[in-house]
Amino acid sequence: RASRQTADRRPDLQLSFEFFPPKTDAMEERFWDSIAKLAPLKPRFVSVTYGAGGSTRERTLRMVRRITADTGVPAAAHLTCVGASRDEVDEVVRGYQDAGVKRIVALRGDPPEGVGQPFTPHPDGYRNAADLVAGIRRIGDFDISVAAYPEKHPQSPDWQADIDNLKRKLDAGANRAITQMFFRNADYLRYLERARAAGITAPIVPGIQPIHSFKQISGFAARCGASIPDWMAERFEGLEDDPETHALVAAAVAAEQVTELLDEGVTEFHFYTLNRSNLVLALGRLLGRRAGAE
Ligand code: FAD
- Asked if the interface predicted TM-score (ipTM) of this complex is over 0.95, the answer is yes
The predicted structure's pLDDT at residue 5: 80
- Confidence class of residue 290 from pLDDT cuts 50, 70 and 90? confident
Please indicate whether residue 108, judged by its CB atom, sits closer than 6 Å to ligand 1: yes
**Burial per residue of 62-92, b for 16 or more beta-carbon CB atoms within 10 angstroms, e otherwise:** ebbbbbbeeeebbbbbbbbbbbbebeebbeb
Q: Which pLDDT does position 80 carry in this prediction?
A: 96
Ligand 1 proximity of 121 Cβ (cutoff 6 Å): no
pLDDT band at 4 (very low <50, low <70, confident <90, very high): confident
The yes-or-no verdict on residue 85 having pLDDT over 60 is yes
Query: What is the per-residue pLDDT for 294?
Result: 54
Instruction: Name residue 112's amino acid.
Output: P
Q: How far is the CA of 165 from the centre of ligand 1 (A)?
A: 10
Residue 3 in this model has a pLDDT that exceeds 90: no
Quick one: which atom of ligand 1 is closest to the CA of 128? Answer: 3
Kindly state the average pLDDT of the residues 15-39: 96
Q: How far is the CA of 35 from the centre of ligand 1 (A)?
A: 26
Mean pLDDT along residues 114-139: 92
Is the model's pLDDT at 55 over the cut of 80?
A: no
Q: What is the pLDDT of residue 2?
A: 80
Task: Say yes or no to pLDDT of 134 above 90.
Answer: yes
Distance (Å, rounded) from C-alpha 4 to C-alpha 286? 9
Decide if 18 is catalytic. Answer: yes
* Angle (deg, nearest 10), helices 278-286 and 243-263: 30
Rounded CA gap, 227 and 223, in Å?
10
| H helix or E strand, kind and range, residue 148 | strand 143-148
Nearest-CA residue for atom 22 of ligand 1: 165
- Percent above pLDDT 90 for the chain: 84
> What is the spatial distance between Cα 173 and Cα 250, in angstroms, rounded to a whole number?
36
Q: Report whether residue 105 contacts ligand 1, using a CB cutoff of 6 Å.
A: yes
